[in-house]
Amino acid sequence: QKKNAHEPEFLQATHEVLESLEPLINSNPAYEKNGILERLVEPERAIMFRVPWVDDAGKVQVNRGFRVQFSSAIGVYKGGLRFHPSVYLGIIKFLGFEQIFKNSLTGTPIGGGKGGCDFDPKGKSDGEVMRFCQSFMTELYRHIGPEVDIPAGDIGVGGREIGYLYGQYKRITGRYEGVLTGKGLTFGGSLGRTEATGYGLIYLVNEMIAAKGKSFEGAKVVISGSGNVATYAAEKAMAYGAKVLAMSDSNGYVYDPEGIKLDVVKQIKEVERKRIKEYAERVPSAAYHEGCREIWTIPCDIALPCATQNELDEMGAKELIKNGCYAVGEGANMPTTLEATKLFLENKILFAPGKAANAGGVAVSALESSQNSMRMSWSFEEVDAQLKNIMINIYKNISSAAAEFNAEDNFVTGANIAGFKKVADAMLAQGIV
Ligand code: NDP
């Protein structure tokens, strides 16, 4: 605790995991004797570096870059890169720690890592983003590789950024290989990767609610965010018959009682790179509200926080519960505070934690790596079918782990135990390293 006191998000993530692992640790003395937990909370390696670049005005800018290689117990390090002004070591550590268990839950052999930079892509020209990405990769390339560490996207890192990063990696190393995932379809990307996290979230939540006789058909859904995860969660929820009432960005949210029109959102966010506020200016039935916290006051059946960490707090949870929301699925990483999570569990709200619910993205990233190694491209339908299967299996594993430890329907406990066990057993087998 003391060592990481200045990293509240990392403490929050480790607290949640360690608390729910207690019954498993108590029944397996080998874990304690071999210092599994003590080793697991310490990254194998954390790299921090200077990222100098020149802006359009000719001025030198300097950002701070990170790559935390957290655990290679079950495979090469794998996890996204985040470009956002709030990025510091504690954010990357919390994300890297969560990634270990998430990757384990996918059933594919990948270890946990995460990286990023305090760079803000918002308002930057394409040329500035490219020069920044080239500088970032000029340091990062020596620490990654298809048999070492395979980064991907996250907040602020989409197709454009991955393209620039990949171009620079290839230029420096002279190698054309699967070192990044989320690549463009013309240079080794996988069909279905863009949709994977959002679609995967809906596949998993669908399993969770179906077990209680519920479905997305006719359900009212509130989704925070309007980035990659939020957009494709909305698309699949609508395909399953739900009405999505609201979406947001970091400035505010739009509420459309007639149901969000996703083509308008995609045009604004993906094509024009503008703010969600524009939606209300183009769609007469919608209203824009400044600030994002109030989004959870909109009555709904299912809430899907898909923006960022700690965006759904105790107040939001109380509003959702009061208004009859019966299921919450975390599309983002740790969007729900510990207090809010506790409230959901106490009130028997079905709650799918991010490390299980948003694992579809990294699962399809692993499929992209497999296609790169085989020099093959699978069809969208094939990738999507594998994704669905993976999400259904994750639900089965987390619900049976919860039941095994007398925590029926507590998917937080289920996900932590199921994700941890494989990693811990691999660590035991590999000795004290
Ligand atoms: P994007 O950058 O595409 O979108 C992020 C969205 O969240 C934007 O609408 C953004 O608004 C909003 N947002 C970001 N920061 C804040 C904030 N501080 N307060 C309110 N809203 C905010 O990112 P992704 O969709 O890729 O990622 C969203 C979440 O999902 C993250 O937690 C990420 O770690 C997680 N995730 C992503 C995966 C992926 O495959 N992409 C995989 C697994 C998890 P604005 O435009 O104003 O910044």
The annotated binding site for NAD(+) is made up of: 197, 228
Q: How far is the CA of 307 from the centre of ligand 1 (A)?
A: 4
Pairing, β 243-248 against β 60-71: unpaired
Residue nearest to atom 30 of ligand 1 (CA): 332
In a shared domain, residues 263 and 150: no
Tell me whether residue 373 is in a domain: no
In a shared domain, residues 264 and 319: yes
In a shared domain, residues 244 and 327: yes
pLDDT at residue 3, rounded to an integer: 84
In a shared domain, residues 246 and 154: no
* Tokens coding 419: 């994700």
In a shared domain, residues 205 and 153: no
Domains identified in the chain, total number: 2
pLDDT at residue 184, rounded to an integer: 97
331 CB under 6 A from ligand 1? Answer: yes
Tell me whether residue 234 is in a domain: yes
pLDDT at residue 114, rounded to an integer: 98
The annotated binding site for substrate is made up of: 78, 99, 102, 153, 365
Q: What is the largest CA-CA distance in the chain?
A: 63
Exposure of 415 in the CB half-sphere (CA atoms within 13 A): 26
In a shared domain, residues 346 and 230: yes
Tell me whether residue 240 is in a domain: yes
Closest approach atom of ligand 1 to CA 82: 34
In a shared domain, residues 135 and 243: no
Tell me whether residue 376 is in a domain: no
The annotated binding site is made up of: 78, 99, 102, 153, 197, 228, 365
Closest approach atom of ligand 1 to CA 358: 43
249 CB under 6 A from ligand 1? Answer: yes
161 CB under 6 A from ligand 1? Answer: no
Residue at a domain's end among 352, 372, 392? 352
In a shared domain, residues 128 and 21: yes
pLDDT at residue 5, rounded to an integer: 87
Tell me whether residue 293 is in a domain: yes
Q: What is the CATH number of the domain that holds 21?
A: 3.40.50.10860
Tell me whether residue 70 is in a domain: yes
The burial of 375, by beta-carbon neighbours within 10 Å (0-12 exposed, 13-18 middle, 19 or more buried), is given as exposed
Q: Domain limits at 136? A: 2-177
pLDDT at residue 2, rounded to an integer: 75
Residue at a domain's end among 177, 210, 225? 177
Tell me whether residue 421 is in a domain: no
Tell me whether residue 420 is in a domain: no
In a shared domain, residues 115 and 222: no
pLDDT by 10s per residue, the chain, length 433: 678 889 999 999 999 999 999 999 999 999 999 999 999 999 999 999 999 999 999 999 999 999 999 999 999 999 999 999 999 999 999 999 999 999 999 999 999 999 999 999 999 999 999 999 999 999 999 999 999 999 999 999 999 999 999 999 999 999 999 999 999 999 999 999 999 999 999 999 999 999 999 999 999 999 999 999 999 999 999 999 999 999 999 999 999 999 999 999 999 999 999 999 999 999 999 999 999 999 999 999 999 999 999 999 999 999 999 999 999 999 999 999 999 999 999 999 999 999 999 999 999 999 999 999 999 999 999 999 999 999 999 999 999 999 999 999 999 999 999 999 999 999 999 999 9
Residue nearest to atom 3 of ligand 1 (CA): 227
Q: How far is the CA of 378 from the centre of ligand 1 (A)?
A: 27
Identify any residues that bridge with 425 across adjacent strands, giving them in sequence order: none
Residues 6 or more apart whose Cβ sits within 8 Å of residue 357: 200, 201, 204, 205, 329, 330, 331
In a shared domain, residues 172 and 266: no
> 297-307 burial string, b = 16+ CB within 10 Å, else e?
bbebbbbbbbb
Radius of gyration of the chain, Cα coordinates, nearest whole angstrom: 21
In a shared domain, residues 214 and 115: no
Residue at a domain's end among 328, 352, 376? 352
In a shared domain, residues 9 and 118: yes
Q: How far is Cα 276 from Cα 279, in angstroms, rounded to an integer?
A: 6
Q: What is the CATH number of the domain that holds 326?
A: 3.40.50.720
pLDDT at residue 272, rounded to an integer: 94
